[in-house]
């Protein structure tokens, strides 16, 4: 039995009322709320540890650097990387995907090469590939989804030719929570010499990740979806790939020697970390990972899946409510109320203290495939309870009656 109420009590943001009602936070796929211990880690850093890292020669900077690199080691172990050199700090998944596109891909791609991208992807895993395709004369090829909002593996294998140099897909998608077959995609792509970029923004928080076992070439995620602050994220890349890539941004820390006759660049991971990093964010992400690893992961996953299943069962009893792309064992559920704009529903729910996401969820191609302009999405995390489900369903029922 997963004690979500005990978990929720650790989250200050969840103790408030919104519009005079208990906050029911069901938008964790957008960003999770933060436990007190993570908030304390941020405060402690700025109260006691703040200094710039890898520079200066005083005790504070030495300690801050040590904690910053301990955070990198924590991420290394958390995702099963071979070396901390394979862990690059970014602002989040979006920046990590753009870094890969503008270094690895831009350096590799030639006219006629192909980048295969899943139809259900978040724009952060579509647009960077379109930009670099435009820059290099390569082509982005859509991997269609099935009618059931699953990754169409058969179509993928038909589209996969020796023209394909990169495959980009989410571990878990953000609108329907589809767990995509990254293992099979990686195996097939590698047979043809293509690399696979796995967008782990949703996956990192809903199942154990071992990038070595997965054999992913790149895996990216954002701290703020993993109970950590916004502004810190991770790009994992196989060391050999990262070593061969040109730098992303120029500046301090990423160089070996600068002269106007020419500049030599630093080693991993600093080569990709120009400028002053988000030290506090990295340290808080370490604390978030340590907190998260203290949870019973099987019980947590079972709990979240039960909440989503109960939500589905209740919503499908309501007139005019249509659930879209439901996936067993997902952490999100998306639905529409026929004849009612999704934003109007979200506004009514908000008036009852219920925070969901309405809109296209940065997934226009998926919305087009579903034939809608947007959905209402409820997404669940460790702090959500059955009472949250009951509040959501009652509010949707009220919305159906009112609208």
Ligand X SMILES: Cc1ncc(COP(=O)(O)O)c(CNc2co[nH]c2=O)c1O
Q: Contact positions toward ligand X, by CB under 6 A?
A: 29-30, 92-94, 122, 124-125, 170, 174, 199, 201-202, 222, 224, 357, 361
Residue 68 to residue 62: CA distance in whole angstroms: 10
Residue 177 to residue 334: CA distance in whole angstroms: 9
Residue 384 to residue 3: CA distance in whole angstroms: 10
Contact yes or no for 202/175 (Cβ under 8 A): no
Which CB atom, from 125 or from 352, has the smaller least distance to ligand X? 125
**Minimum distance, C-beta of residue 200 to ligand X, in the bound complex (Å):** 8
Per-residue burial over 297-331, b if 16 or more Cβ lie within 10 Å, else e, is eeebbebbbebbbebbebbeebeebeebbbbeebb
**Minimum distance, C-beta of residue 343 to ligand X, in the bound complex (Å):** 14
Which CB atom, from 133 or from 363, has the smaller least distance to ligand X? 363
**Minimum distance, C-beta of residue 67 to ligand X, in the bound complex (Å):** 23
Q: Is 359 left (phi over 0), alpha (psi -120 to 50) or beta?
A: left
Residue 322 to residue 253: CA distance in whole angstroms: 52
Neighbours of 189 (CB within 10 A): 21
37, 149, 164, 362: the active-site residue? 362
Which CB atom, from 303 or from 361, has the smaller least distance to ligand X? 361
**Minimum distance, C-beta of residue 56 to ligand X, in the bound complex (Å):** 30
Which CB atom, from 113 or from 199, has the smaller least distance to ligand X? 199
Which CB atom, from 124 or from 211, has the smaller least distance to ligand X? 124
Catalytic (active site) residue 362: yes
Shortest CA distance to 104 belongs to which of 304, 309, 310, 242? 242
Active centre residues (catalytic): 362
């Amino acid at each position: 039995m997963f004690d979500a109420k005990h978990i929720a009590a650790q989250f200050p943001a969840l103790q408030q009322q919104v519009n005079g009602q208990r906050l029911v936070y069901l938008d964790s796929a957008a960003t999770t709320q933060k436990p007190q211990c993570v908030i304390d880690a941020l405060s402690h850093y700025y109260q006691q540890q703040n200094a710039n890292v890898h520079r200066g020669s005083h005790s504070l900077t030495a300690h801050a650097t040590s904690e910053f690199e301990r955070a990198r080691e924590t991420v290394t172990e958390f995702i099963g990387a071979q070396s901390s050199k394979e862990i690059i700090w970014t602002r989040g998944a979006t920046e990590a995907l753009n870094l890969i596109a503008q270094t690895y891909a831009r350096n590799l791609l030639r006219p006629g090469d192909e980048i295969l991208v899943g139809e259900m992807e978040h724009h952060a895993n579509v647009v960077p590939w379109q930009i670099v395709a435009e820059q290099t004369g390569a082509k982005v090829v859509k991997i269609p989804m099935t009618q059931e909002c699953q990754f169409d593996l058969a179509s993928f294998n038909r589209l996969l030719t020796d023209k394909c140099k990169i495959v980009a897909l989410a571990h878990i998608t953000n609108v329907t929570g589809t767990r995509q077959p990254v293992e099979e995609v990686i195996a097939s792509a590698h047979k043809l010499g293509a690399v696979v970029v796995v967008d782990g923004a949703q996956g990192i928080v809903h199942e154990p990740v071992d990038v070595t076992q997965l054999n992913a070439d790149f895996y990216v995620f954002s701290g703020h979806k993993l109970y950590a602050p916004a502004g810190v994220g991770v790009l994992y890349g196989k060391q050999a790939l990262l070593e061969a890539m040109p730098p992303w941004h120029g500046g301090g820390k990423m160089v070996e020697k600068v002269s106007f006759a020419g500049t030599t660049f630093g080693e991993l991971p600093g080569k990709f970390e120009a400028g002053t990093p988000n030290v506090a964010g990295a340290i808080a992400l370490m604390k978030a990972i340590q907190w998260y690893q203290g949870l019973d992961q099987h019980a947590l996953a079972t709990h979240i899946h039960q909440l989503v299943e109960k939500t589905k069962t209740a919503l499908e009893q309501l007139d005019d409510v249509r659930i879209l792309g439901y996936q067993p064992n997902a952490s999100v559920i998306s639905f529409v109320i026929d004849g009612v704009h999704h934003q109007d529903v979200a506004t009514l729910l908000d008036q009852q203290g219920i925070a969901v996401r309405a809109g296209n969820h940065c997934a226009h191609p998926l919305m087009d495939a579903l034939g809608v302009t947007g959905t209402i999405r409820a997404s669940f995390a460790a702090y959500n309870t059955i009472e949250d489900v009951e509040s959501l369903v009652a509010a949707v029922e009220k919305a159906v009656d009112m609208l």
